[in-house]
Structure 1
Amino acid sequence: MPSPSSSAQQALEALGVRLREIRIDAGLTGRDLGRLTGWHSSKVSKIEYAKQTPTPDDIRAWCRHCGMPDQAADLIASLRAAEGMFVEWRRLESTGLRLAQEAVVPLWERTKRFRIYNPRLIPGPVQTREYIRALMLGLMDRRGIPDDLDAAVQVRMDKQRVVREGDHRFAIVLEEAVLRFPIGGQATMVGQLGHLLACTALPSVSLGIIPLGVDRSTMWPVEGFWMFDEEQVSAELTSGHLTVTQPCEIAVYGDAFVRLAKLAVYGSAARTLITSAVNALDE
């Protein structure tokens, strides 16, 4: 799989190339630009080769001294897009969980084909209210997030309308272990697994489960990820949220999803695994 920061790095490299072109078009050497801006000449080189991330003020000064101040706004927008490809949880959740949930609503609404792989948790589109609440309580406690629990839970529940409305399709692949990880206590987990069983009958949902005993020589478990059409991939890492937009990287995730999906069982075989997990909770 691509490294967590590769999309952001490629975006910064592209920004550096554009800045270098602007400098060369202005007839300036790196030393010239450094003298004009008051920087060490090595800073110019580091920015151009994506070894140092420029600030918005750096970009404004660069463009001004190269005689192209009108280019600064677009370049700063590119910088912010690159920085947004990997966002630490503490920054994303600084005011609570509700805004982070609301931010992806437009993406959910315009996506026609969702491909979701999760090795740890049942994913949002097929979660119950109680399961969502238990997950969010755990996040708030672990990360010290401001408490907007009720509002955040409701936003996630509202987002689930795309499962039943419009022309949306969900291909979901889970590791069997997901069914065995208790979240929120026995009653919550039984309710969640029962809801998952019901979701297998929805025409918009394809649910595959990779059995614990299947040979993983060709494809082992990877980080959980979501594919939104061919537009982007999102992955939740321990330290933050990764957004991938480079077509070559999206293709890598697409290939991984195909391989994982081939290991999964579907239909009655998947329902048998879910029922077995429910029975284990009752023992």
Structure 2
Amino acid sequence: MSVEPEELGQSSEELAALLKAVRKRSGLSGVRVAARCNMSQSKVSRLESGRVRASIVDVEQIFRACEAPSELLAQAMALARLAATEWQGARGLRRKGLDKKQLELAGLEKTSTEFRFFLLSMITGLLSTPEYIRASLAHIPGDHSRTVAKKLDRQQVLYDRSKRFTFLLTEQAIRWPLVRSDALAVQIDHLASLTHLPNVRLGVIPLDSQVGPAPLNTFTVYDERIATVEISTGVMVFRDPRDVASHLQEFATYEARAQFGQSARGLLQDLADRLRTSSE
């Protein structure tokens, strides 16, 4: 099923209207449907009005209760999956202000416990030095001082021991020359220091590692409820459990090939030493 990015914002309304139409066509009241689905009547009302996003389970329960045709159920399930997917275009994020995106990410970090980051081509802001952060924003016009400050503020979450982090970085992400060689060496030293945090697992996937199918995107999974995927023109946000599970499975594949602990620190030290030698 193909879909244009702008359609993602319309699917929730379409799904709510379809739920209401199916229930009315069945001749059942909201109270009767709620009883058959073991949910409150107020929830049925909120689902039909679009005030609450219907999950895949909600859709299936209501359509079964209303004895709706299978082709309508398939249509509703597709809409539910789209409703659970959000597109955040890069141009729109820049218009709103990149510092606003930092507030959104801080909110996700506050409400999540376990984080999994797969970093294909760059080092994420949570692990970055100030110079690296500034360089990552240099291609975007404007003053980014507030965005840099908020990115640095967010790094405090790494020291919250009630949260667990796993970062997987490809060797090419670490070596990408976003900053001068001496500054990149300092960035790599910073990565090595973070491997000592008890709630942080930082793994490096060497270039000569056999990882199977080539990864296509950087992505992050928050607990087991949200997966975000970064591409050059924006960010996709997935809330459908099947999409999240797919990213968790992909992450596990890369995690099995990564080097952690002393092995990772040794590789990082070697990379930093080579950069310092080349800059002399």
- TM-score using structure 1 length: 0.72
The alpha-carbon distance between structure 1 residues 212 and 222, as it changes in their structure 2 partners (threshold 3 A), is same
Equivalence for 1:135: 136
| Separation in structure 1 between the aligned mates of residue 150 and residue 84 of structure 2, nearest angstrom | 26
Equivalence for 1:169: 164
**Counterparts of 1:75-86 in structure 2 under 5 Å?**
82=83, 85-86=86-87
Superposed CA deviations along residues 225-268 of structure 1, whole A, max 9, x for unmatched, are 01110120111111111101000110000000101100111122
Kept in 2, the 8 Å contact 1:219–1:260? The answer is: no
Out of 15, 20, 23, the residue aligned to residue 22 of structure 1 is 20
Confirm whether residue 205 of structure 1 aligns to residue 200 of structure 2.
Answer: yes
Kept in 1, the 8 Å contact 2:186–2:272? The answer is: no
Structure 1: any 5+ residue segments left out of the alignment? 28-67, 142-146
Confirm whether residue 276 of structure 1 aligns to residue 270 of structure 2.
Answer: yes
Superposed CA deviations along residues 3-46 of structure 1, whole A, max 9, x for unmatched, are 9979x76982x65344234345666xxxxxxxxxxxxxxxxxxx
Mean alpha-carbon deviation: is it higher for 251-260 or for 218-227? 218-227
- How many angstroms does 1:96 deviate by? 2.8
Kept in 2, the 8 Å contact 1:232–1:250? The answer is: yes
Kept in 2, the 8 Å contact 1:128–1:195? The answer is: yes
| Separation in structure 1 between the aligned mates of residue 145 and residue 54 of structure 2, nearest angstrom | 34
What is the DSSP-based 3-state SS (H/G/I as helix, E as strand, rest coil) of the residue aligned with 1:93? Answer: helix
| Separation in structure 1 between the aligned mates of residue 113 and residue 239 of structure 2, nearest angstrom | 17
Confirm whether residue 227 of structure 1 aligns to residue 221 of structure 2.
Answer: yes
Out of 219, 238, 259, the residue aligned to residue 244 of structure 1 is 238
| Separation in structure 2 between the aligned mates of residue 4 and residue 131 of structure 1, nearest angstrom | 36
Equivalence for 2:191: 196
- TM-score using structure 2 length: 0.73
**What is the RMSD computed on CA atoms of the aligned residues?**
3.3
| Separation in structure 2 between the aligned mates of residue 185 and residue 18 of structure 1, nearest angstrom | 52
Counterpart AA for 1:274: L
What is the DSSP-based 3-state SS (H/G/I as helix, E as strand, rest coil) of the residue aligned with 1:154? Answer: helix
What is the DSSP-based 3-state SS (H/G/I as helix, E as strand, rest coil) of the residue aligned with 2:229? Answer: strand
Counterpart AA for 2:111: R
Kept in 1, the 8 Å contact 2:165–2:200? The answer is: yes
Kept in 2, the 8 Å contact 1:225–1:233? The answer is: yes
Identity %: 26
**Counterparts of 1:61-100 in structure 2 under 5 Å?**
72=49, 74=51, 82=83, 85-100=86-101
- How many angstroms does 1:97 deviate by? 1.6
What is the DSSP-based 3-state SS (H/G/I as helix, E as strand, rest coil) of the residue aligned with 1:115? Answer: strand
**Counterparts of 1:148-187 in structure 2 under 5 Å?**
148-187=143-182
How many positions carry a matched residue from both structures? Answer: 233
Structure 2: any 5+ residue segments left out of the alignment? 26-44, 56-78
Out of 244, 251, 258, the residue aligned to residue 264 of structure 1 is 258
The alpha-carbon distance between structure 1 residues 273 and 83, as it changes in their structure 2 partners (threshold 3 A), is same
Counterpart AA for 1:154: A
| Separation in structure 2 between the aligned mates of residue 11 and residue 249 of structure 1, nearest angstrom | 19
